[in-house]
């Protein structure tokens, strides 16, 4: 069937399967991606069907995984890497930032590095230390990297396809607490551009802009606000580098107010860039300051305290009320 209702994790699995079938140069690499099928079973069954030369269980060495992938990309392959958890990516940060992001520019465009780095990120699953972080702004800051995050199974399927087909390196953040959320996936659809934002819910009084795990929270906040007579538009940014500022501008020129929401700490977060750019672009359209909602500027807490740390419905609605009070 062309249209299926799938959990986000299964949509990613189907996307990887399609990529492996369509292009013999696509490889999957990572810790436990083969026989185990990945910690979250995103690669389940792929090694069995495509073999150990295409779906490769690597040593526990993230720097080695990325370094090997760079070499493979230079030889014409399209490696798709899995970093088991967000907090495990930092041993590979040097390779990603100093090599993967810069080789295309160093070679004056003669070298392409079609590498996808998949990173399950964010909290909400009661995990231990270094398993619930949101480091997307650290990568979005680096020129030469594209950074994206889907919020729905349909976007997970198509955005991963587009990331694999891209000749640029893409850091693909997967909201792990949404892995089991189901949604319709049309495998015969024609997807929109990878870095274009989408309107998840139309509204007229205020824009909520979010990506990844927080889109669902913003949709819940918009539904709650509607019960109080407030019309809130929800914009799924989908991409953190580049950011679709044109789409945000169009929404804000209509609503006059903007609240940016992400799990990562507000301090130096990606919401700050959105707030600054939209203030410049929409100064005469804004009816109130651009507000931000996110995590606290503190290390991610133990699992028992994560609900106090994570921005939830109440914090988003509080920002909505403050913006509408101006």
Catalytic residue numbers read 131
Q: How far apart are CA 64 and CA 169, in angstroms?
A: 17
Give the containing element (helix H, strand E) for 314. Answer: helix 313-325
Determine the distance from the C-alpha atom of residue 15 to the mean position of all C-alpha atoms in its chain, rounded to a whole number: 16
| Pairing of β 239-241 and β 146-148 | antiparallel
Spatial separation of the C-alpha atoms in residues 247 and 53, rounded to whole Å: 42
CB-CB contact of 259 with 227 (8 Å)? no
CA distance linking residue 173 with residue 103, whole number of Å: 22
Phi, psi of 293 (to 5 degrees): -130, 130
Q: Give the pairing type, strands 116-121 and 170-175.
A: parallel
| Contact (CB, 8 A) for 127 and 301 | no
CB-CB contact of 197 with 238 (8 Å):
yes
CA distance 150 to 200: 12
Instruction: Compute the distance between CA of residue 276 and CA of residue 279 in angstroms, rounded to an integer.
Output: 5
Nearest alpha-carbon partner for 77 in 132, 143, 23: 23
Residue from 261, 258, 237 nearest 315 by CA:
261
């Amino acid at each position: 069937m062309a249209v299926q209702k799938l959990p986000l994790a299964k949509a990613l699995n189907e996307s990887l399967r399609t990529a492996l079938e369509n292009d013999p140069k696509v490889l999957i690499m990572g810790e436990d991606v083969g026989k185990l099928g990945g910690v979250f079973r995103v690669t389940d069954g792929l090694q069995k069907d495509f073999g150990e030369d295409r779906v490769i269980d690597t040593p526990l060495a993230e720097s080695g995984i990325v370094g090997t992938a760079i070499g493979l990309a230079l030889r014409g392959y399209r490696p798709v890497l899995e970093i088991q958890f967000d907090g495990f990516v930092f041993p590979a940060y040097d390779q990603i930032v100093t090599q993967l992001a810069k080789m295309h520019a160093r070679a004056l465009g003669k070298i392409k590095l079609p590498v996808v780095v998949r990173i399950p990120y964010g909290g909400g699953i009661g995990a231990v230390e270094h398993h619930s972080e949101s480091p997307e702004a650290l990568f979005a800051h680096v020129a030469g990297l594209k950074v994206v995050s889907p919020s729905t199974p349909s976007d997970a399927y198509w955005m991963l396809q587009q990331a694999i087909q891209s000749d640029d390196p893409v850091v693909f953040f997967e909201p792990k607490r949404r892995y089991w959320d189901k949604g319709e996936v049309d495998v015969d659809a024609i997807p929109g551009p990878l870095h274009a934002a989408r309107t998840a819910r139309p509204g007229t009084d205020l824009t909520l802009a979010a990506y990844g795990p927080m889109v669902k929270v913003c949709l819940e906040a918009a539904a709650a606000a509607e019960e109080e007579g407030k019309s809130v538009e929800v914009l799924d940014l989908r991409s953190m580098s580049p950011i679709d500022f044109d789409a945000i501008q169009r929404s804000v020129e209509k609503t006059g107010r903007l609240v940016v929401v992400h799990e990562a700490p507000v301090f130096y977060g990606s919401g700050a860039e959105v707030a600054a750019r939209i203030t410049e672009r929409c100064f005469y359209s804004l009816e109130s300051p651009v507000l931000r909602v996110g995590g606290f500027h503190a290390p991610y807490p133990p699992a028992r305290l994560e609900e106090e740390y994570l921005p939830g419905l109440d914090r988003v609605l509080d920002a909505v009320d403050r913006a509408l009070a101006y």
